[in-house]
Amino acid sequence: MRVYLDNAATTPLDPEVIKVMCGVMESHFGNPSSIHAHGREGRTLVEKARKTVAALLHTSPAEIFFTGSGTEADNMAIRCGIIDNNIKHAITTQAEHHAVVHTLEAMEKTGVIKLSFVDIDEKGNISYEHLEELLKNNDRSFVSLMQANNEIGTLTDIERVGNLCEQYSAVFHCDTVQTMAHYPHVLNQLKVHFLTCAAHKFHGPKGVGFLYINHKIKISPLIYGGAQERNMRGGTENVYGIAGLAKALELAYADMDKHRDHIQGLKTYMIAQLQANVPDIQFNGEIAADKSLYTVLNVSFPETDIADMLLFKLDIAGISVSGGSACSSGTDIGSHVLTAIGASDSRPSVRFSFSKYNTKQEVDFVVQKLRELFA
């Protein structure tokens, strides 16, 4: 038996998405920038996908820009949002994704901005009081806060953040890579300037994402070249990837409540089974349903002499999981998120992340293997 519980790293493609993408690859190879019939077919597919995404998110197609990844979208929002609006101060947390933290730290290192970190507690919750203090005591700020932490799942109230940013005339960028297609986003009501997405986190293809740019803010491109994406992102469009993204988002929205109930049920079940079968475990981040991303469960296990080999032993046992963020796999620096919340560095931690394709039988299999390892 092989169990995949690393869906926060990437998800398997939905068969319906594969079908759509294969159809585009087989029949619509034209460059969308070409004016002939083959090019116009490609352009039609791209714009149809843009309209699909915009309709699901309750915004205008003119505010959706396709990118090559969520990381690119984050970089575009942060670098261009700060530089083009002459912002000198940025706010984030020590637990943000590296696409955000490393970008802001690089900009601080070169003297573009002063960077402040919002306090977070031992569960990864931000201090809204500290955020307001930072906003109040600095000139116009750029705020970059994710909706759900990709390692521990703790949710941030982005409506509250948006309201605070509006109150202090700050620019708000929200990384929704982990929450897009798992929660509804009503962008014509949410007070956010930038919002980012990666298709492969919700059963779409790798190599494609999008950046939402609120019409109230103006930026220049991050990538220059041709006039693609209405002069905002040079490079020939990934037509079949864009079509796949739109189809994956459409499928997710069609059955969002059903999938959420199923996945939350698996997570709740696994919490109970781990507590009953593995001694002395701790959960990192919030685990209550209203405070935590339902697809992610981060667990610290008892101190053990197999700590450095735990992921390897689980892999050998047929279980694919991650020891924190997949973006750091292959390194030995540990998890910056767990460090930020003060988790013990003597306990091995595992991130289990679920999708609509997982089952209770798989959870039982994983718990049994863990029980054997920690017997």
Catalytic residues: 327
Query: How crowded is residue 27: how many other Cβ atoms within 10 Å of its Cβ?
Result: 10
CA distances from 159 to 54, 185, 250 (A): 19, 11, 24
- Maximum CA pair distance of the chain? 67
Cα separation, 274 vs 367, whole angstroms: 6
Report which residue type is found at 252: A
Comparing CA positions, the residue from 359, 356, 348 lying closest to residue 322 is 348
Per-residue DSSP letters for 146-183? -SB-TTT-BB--HHHHHHHHHHTT-EEEEE-TTTBTTB
Please answer whether residues 332 and 371 qualify as being in contact, where contact means their C-beta atoms are separated by less than 8 angstroms: no
Please answer whether residues 146 and 178 qualify as being in contact, where contact means their C-beta atoms are separated by less than 8 angstroms: yes
Task: Please name the residue ranges forming H helices in 193-290.
Answer: 228-231, 239-254, 256-277
Per-residue DSSP letters for 47-107? HHHHHHHHHHTTS-GGGEEEES-HHHHHHIIIIIHHHTTT--EEEE-TTS-HHHHHHHHHH
